[in-house]
């Protein structure tokens, strides 16, 4: 048993992880807004948020705004790719809004951008 | 020996600057290591894609190693900054005697795509300690200026 008064081994427990929110900008369109860094620690909350997005059965336009994402690791890519496959089961393609190299580069270099419809700004993606 | 004998830059005689970062083997500290990687690449005039690739490659290597690290152990990450390229060696003491870096994962394939060269390293443990496992990767600065 470890000592219950031992100092916490997670020194950055207050680190800003990931912020996500889901909105319905117009009928049939659901928008998931993501802010922060997507890495091995924050990929699970992103996966949960994507599940919530995919649970919107009425929607035929699923948009993920990654403009506020400043880092995307392979764990985050894997989560996005799984979501793309789940959307494909519903004959939908996820729309990704990517504004920065930090997000575009990982998608490009792994060839995974072909799984998504890519947009540079959110207004075009929800339209 | 005069003051002039002191090196005027961080560069050593063989043209390599070394930066070593050592943290607890904890995923929450990887953002710090990848920030160092990014900073070194930017200062070494890497192009923007190469900076992004190195940051992601270092993150991937460290995340892979933290997964197999023994409890309360350290993650050691050494950056050898050379002209036009950075070599990174990351290693941990593994918890399990049969621990190794798995190379049949999506993350490893991404790592191979990001780096110009990547190798898994393993040194068997002695005296009942787990093995030392590591990853060595090499990243070039990008398109050479004409």
> Which domains does chain B carry?
16-140 (3.30.565.10)
The partner residue sitting opposite A40, judged by closest CB among B24, B63, B72, is: B63
User: Rounded to the nearest 5°, which phi and psi values hold at B121?
Assistant: -120, 150
- Chain A residues near residue B27 by CB distance under 8 angstroms: 39-41
Which of A56, A110, A109 is CA-nearest to residue A83? Answer: A56
Q: Do B55 and A39 touch (CB under 8 A)?
A: no
On whether the CB atoms of residues A99 and A120 are closer than 8 A, the answer is: yes
Q: What is the ipTM of this complex?
A: 0.86
pLDDT tens-digit map of A53-68 = 999 989 999 999 999 9
Q: Closest-CA residue in chain A for B111? A: A74
Q: Give the pLDDT of residue A3.
A: 44
On whether the CB atoms of residues B117 and B137 are closer than 8 A, the answer is: yes
Q: Pairing mode, if any, of strands A29-38 and A61-72?
A: parallel
Q: Closest-CA residue in chain A for B47? A: A101
Q: Closest-CA residue in chain A for B108? A: A74
pLDDT tens-digit map of B102-140 = 999 999 999 999 999 999 999 998 887 889 999 999 999
Q: Domain residue spans in chain A?
A: 18-126
- Chain A residues near residue B28 by CB distance under 8 angstroms: 10-13, 15, 41
Confidence of residue A127 (pLDDT cuts 50, 70, 90): confident
Distance CA A104, CA A7 (A): 39
Q: How far is A20 from chain B (nearest CA, A)?
A: 19
* Mean of all residue pLDDT scores within chain A: 89
Architecture of domain A18-126: 2-Layer Sandwich (3.30)
Distance CA B96, CA B117 (A): 27
Q: Do A10 and B48 touch (CB under 8 A)?
A: no
The SS3 call for residue B88 is strand
* Mean of all residue pLDDT scores within chain B: 90
H or E stretch covering A23: strand A18-26
Q: Do A74 and B111 touch (CB under 8 A)?
A: yes
pLDDT at B7 over 70: no
């Amino acid at each position: 048993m470890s000592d219950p008064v031992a100092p916490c081994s997670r020194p950055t427990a207050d680190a800003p992880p990931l912020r996500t929110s889901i909105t319905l900008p117009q009928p049939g369109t659901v928008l998931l807004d993501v802010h922060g860094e997507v890495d091995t620690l924050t990929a699970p909350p992103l996966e949960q948020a994507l599940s919530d997005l995919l649970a919107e059965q009425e929607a035929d336009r699923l948009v993920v705004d990654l403009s506020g994402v400043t880092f995307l690791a392979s764990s985050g890519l894997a989560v996005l790719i799984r979501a793309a496959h789940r959307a494909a089961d519903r004959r939908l393609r996820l729309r990704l809004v990517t504004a920065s190299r930090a997000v575009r580069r990982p998608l490009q270099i792994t060839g995974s951008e072909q799984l998504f419809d890519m947009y540079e700004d959110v207004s075009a993606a929800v339209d | 020996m005069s003051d002039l004998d002191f090196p005027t830059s961080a560069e050593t005689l063989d043209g390599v600057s070394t930066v070593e970062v050592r943290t607890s083997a904890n995923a929450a500290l990887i953002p710090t290591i990848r920030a160092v990687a990014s900073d070194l690449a930017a200062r070494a005039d890497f192009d923007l894609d190469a900076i992004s690739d190195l940051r992601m490659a270092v993150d991937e290597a460290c995340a892979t190693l933290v997964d197999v690290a023994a409890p309360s152990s350290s993650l050691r990450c050494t950056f050898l900054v050379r002209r036009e390229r950075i070599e990174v060696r990351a290693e941990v003491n593994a918890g399990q005697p049969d621990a190794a870096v798995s190379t049949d994962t999506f993350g490893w394939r991404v790592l191979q795509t990001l780096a110009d060269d990547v190798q898994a390293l393993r040194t068997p443990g002695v005296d009942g300690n787990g093995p030392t496992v590591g990853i060595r990767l090499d990243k070039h600065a990008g398109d050479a200026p004409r």
